Amino acid sequence: SKTYILNFVSVLEKKYHFVLINTDPSNAIAYEDELKNLHAKIFLASGAFSLESYFQRKKKAKMILQSVDADIVYVNALTPNNAYWVRAAKQLKINAVYHSHNDSGLYSNPLKAVAAAIMKPFNQYTLSYAVKLAASLDSGQYMFGKKARFEVVYNSIYTSKWKFNPLERIKIRNKLNIKNDKKVIVSVARLDTQKNSIRF
């Protein structure tokens, strides 16, 4: 989803003004320098936005959306727990888009997992206000529910940049001392549970 945002902004930056809200200012947003070069602004949000702050988050989100004078709220999310942005947008009569990039919830704390499961139906009800997008069918069903209507938008990449090149194949194999008849599996993702690559 990080590369998706960069590509998304690079395509639309001449038509729209982007403000990216960092709810964890102790860490920089991925590709922050590149995004700033595309004239995107970074808003450092103070305060807690975790699951523990469930009832305060909407109020903070509403204040932020008002301060940046937002016309559209676009949320890239791994769980339904960020639905408070949509709740705030609805109160302000701002259009909202919720884009799912995950097909399961992973919580290290069992208590958080139970709390998230209890709140999921309420969050999904809130998300009915938003335009619903998903990176895959599974991620859409996990985020919005199996009966929900959503559109699958596969992660945007410049396919011409990654088009197969037989000369590059030979060059890389020679560089890595891989014989021509050997099969190679390439994982183009971080090694994480959500990406399923660690099952190999």
Task: Say if residues 135 and 152 touch (Cβ distance below 8 Å).
Answer: yes
Q: What is the pLDDT of residue 131?
A: 97
Residue 182, in any domain of the structure: no
pLDDT in tens, 138-183: 999 999 999 999 999 876 666 677 788 899 999 999 999 999 899 9
Calpha distance 142→144 (Å, rounded): 6
pLDDT in tens, 72-102: 999 999 899 999 999 999 999 999 999 998 8
Calpha distance 190→2 (Å, rounded): 12
Torsion-angle region of 14 (φ positive above 0: left; ψ -120 to 50: alpha; else: beta): alpha
Residue 14, in any domain of the structure: yes
Residue 191, in any domain of the structure: no
Residue 177, in any domain of the structure: no
Residue 190 confidence (pLDDT) above 80: no
**Angle separating helix axes 84-91 and 54-67, nearest 10 degrees:** 50
Residue 44, in any domain of the structure: yes
CATH of the domain at 153: 3.40.50
Calpha distance 200→198 (Å, rounded): 5
Q: Tell me which residue of 23, 20, 126, 123 sits closest to 73, measured CA to CA.
A: 20
pTM of the model: 0.78
Number of domains the chain is built from: 1
**Residue whose tokens read 């998300």:** 127
Residue 137, in any domain of the structure: yes
Range of the domain at 53: 2-162
Residue 136, in any domain of the structure: yes
Q: Tell me which residue of 99, 61, 60 sits closest to 77, measured CA to CA.
A: 99
77 pairs with which residues across the strands?
100
Percent of the chain residues past pLDDT 70, beyond the cut? 87
Residue 33 confidence (pLDDT) above 80: yes
Residue 197, in any domain of the structure: no
